[in-house]
């Protein structure tokens, strides 16, 4: 599961149920009566004098645990409202930051534009060391988030470390709506649409992005689903309506009794022929996998990145007669080709494990040329691919007169796929395996052409020659050219 905890809550694939509140019948009545009797006895006689609410919550948690369903949960009315608001991007009483666990203190990894945090000057990379004067060293991330949140309009003071500087920033909590879709036009008339989650307005936001990009002359499209934990399944279907012919199978839902229901596209597509790449990673889950899986099965898009999370099950939310709701898994889904991806995930067509290269590789796949040229500046780490500056530092080492280049980012930038398995490095091109290198226990090959240094594998110039990569070097620049 995602290790970073968002002040936006990560959403899971689910549907709101039309089921009626459950009523006890038959054996259920006997079971319910036993639970009530046990609770009554504990409340009356246990030495701890447990509160009824404590026993009730314990009974609920025990029932949930018995399902062995990691996605099952009970919501009070307020928790249900917060859950749905978060999926829809409606965040109450927040400051607008994304945080993740750090060494002792949490780290700000993102600031949402237009929020109190953005206006107050909080920046990605800041370390939060105190909230309202209280040191938070070692706090669980969920407690940090809860401490930062509060009623809208109230104040919270964050003590931040930014390098050698310590800042105290006072922020006013606010209600924030975070769009789930961001878009822009990249070079070469390539549209780029990032989908963060699938809330109730995601389909409309995506449709609007497509229309605007088409108005700018879009000739190819990248859809970015990285770190997308899912949400409403019908919003993913709405997005697929842009591409699939009407009444095309999108996914099949199979319940615990084997009953099957097919989900199909509903509208005529607005895009019938457009080169597309979908970027995914190990945090792309559920509804994101439905979208990516359908486009992959119908060969409408190339999947780039790494294997997805593998959440191929569907939850429903059932209202309770006493208030609140039960969320639990009620079915699994299959991709149009009939693939069950639960705990397996989708396999990308082109693996790219280096996160900072995934979008660039997606763009290069849509704009094939005769050559790929990677230039690196020793000492600075600055790098460019076919003249496009990379958002990635590629740091080179030197052994005598020989340059050592970090293996994975260099080869992935040149559109090779790199795999480590059982002490063997395999390098693949689009045509298949082109190089296999056996490593010893120290991570070094017998020919001393792969060097492990500081946990990074470096390749020598000899490896480049075996891959038909030309190298031109001087004191200021290394140019690597791959003829395609």
Task: Enumerate the active-site residues.
Answer: 286, 297, 311
Strands (E), 286-393: 302-305, 313-319, 325-334, 350-351, 371-376, 383-385, 388-389
Cα–Cα distance measured from residue 479 to residue 375, given in angstroms and rounded to the nearest whole number? 4
Nearest 5°: phi and psi at 355? -55, -45
What DSSP line would sit under 198-218, residue for residue? B-TTHHHHHHHHHHHHHHTT-
The Cα angle at residue 307 between residues 302 and 310, in degrees rounded to 5:
115
Residues 6+ apart with CB under 8 A from 68: none
Give 242's Cβ-side CA count (13 Å radius): 22
Q: If we measure between CA atoms, which residue out of 211, 160, 152 comes closest to residue 177?
A: 152
Cα–Cα distance measured from residue 361 to residue 409, given in angstroms and rounded to the nearest whole number? 11
Q: If we measure between CA atoms, which residue out of 190, 186, 193 comes closest to residue 220?
A: 190
Q: How far is CA 221 from the centre of its chain?
A: 19
Q: If we measure between CA atoms, which residue out of 161, 250, 237, 147 comes closest to residue 198?
A: 237
């Amino acid at each position: 599961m995602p290790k970073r905890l968002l002040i936006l809550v990560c959403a899971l694939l689910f549907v709101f149920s039309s089921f009626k509140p459950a009523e006890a019948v038959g054996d259920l009545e006997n079971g319910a009566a036993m639970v009530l009797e046990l609770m009554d006895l504990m409340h009356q006689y246990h030495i701890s004098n447990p509160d009824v609410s404590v026993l009730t919550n314990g009974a609920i948690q025990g029932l949930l645990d018995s399902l062995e369903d990691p996605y099952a949960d009970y919501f009070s009315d307020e928790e249900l409202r917060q859950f749905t608001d978060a999926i829809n991007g409606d965040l109450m009483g927040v400051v607008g930051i994304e945080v993740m666990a750090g060494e002792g203190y949490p780290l700000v990894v993102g600031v949402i534009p237009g929020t109190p945090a953005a206006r107050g000057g909080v920046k990605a990379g800041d370390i939060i060391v105190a909230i309202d004067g209280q040191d938070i060293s070692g706090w669980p991330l969920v407690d940090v988030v809860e401490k930062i949140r509060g009623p809208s309009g109230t104040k919270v003071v964050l003590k931040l470390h930014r390098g050698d500087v310590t800042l105290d920033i006072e922020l006013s909590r606010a209600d924030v709506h975070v769009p789930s879709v961001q878009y822009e036009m990249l070079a070469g008339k390539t549209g780029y649409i990032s989908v963060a989650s699938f809330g109730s307005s995601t389909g409309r936001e995506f449709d609007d992005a497509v229309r605007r990009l088409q108005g700018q002359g879009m000739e190819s499209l990248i859809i970015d689903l990285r770190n997308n934990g899912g949400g409403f399944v019908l919003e993913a279907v709405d997005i697929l309506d842009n591409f699939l012919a009407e009444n095309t199978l999108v996914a099949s839902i199979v319940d615990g009794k084997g009953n099957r229901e097919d989900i199909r596209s509903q509208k005529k597509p607005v895009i019938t022929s457009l080169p597309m790449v979908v970027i995914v990673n190990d945090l792309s889950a559920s509804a994101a996998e439905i979208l990516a899986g359908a486009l992959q099965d119908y060969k409408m898009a190339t999947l780039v990145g790494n294997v997805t999370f593998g959440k191929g099950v569907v939850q429903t939310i059932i209202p309770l007669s006493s208030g609140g709701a039960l969320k639990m898994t009620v079915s699994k889904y299959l991709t149009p080709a009939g693939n069950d991806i639960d705990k397996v995930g989708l396999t990308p067509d082109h693996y790219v494990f280096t996160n900072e290269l995934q979008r660039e590789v997606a763009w290069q796949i849509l704009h094939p040329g005769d050559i790929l040229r990677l230039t690196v500046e020793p000492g600075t780490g600055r790098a460019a691919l076919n003249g496009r500056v990379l958002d990635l530092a590629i740091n080179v080492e030197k052994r005598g007169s020989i340059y050592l280049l970090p293996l994975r980012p260099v080869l992935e930038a040149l559109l090779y796929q790199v795999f480590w398995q059982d002490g063997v490095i395999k390098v693949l091109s689009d045509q298949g395996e082109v190089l296999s290198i056996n490593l010893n226990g120290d991570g070094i090959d017998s020919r001393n052409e792969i060097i492990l240094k500081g946990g990074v594998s470096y390749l020598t110039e000899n490896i480049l020659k075996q891959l038909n990569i030309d190298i031109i070097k001087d004191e200021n620049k290394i140019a690597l050219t791959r003829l395609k």
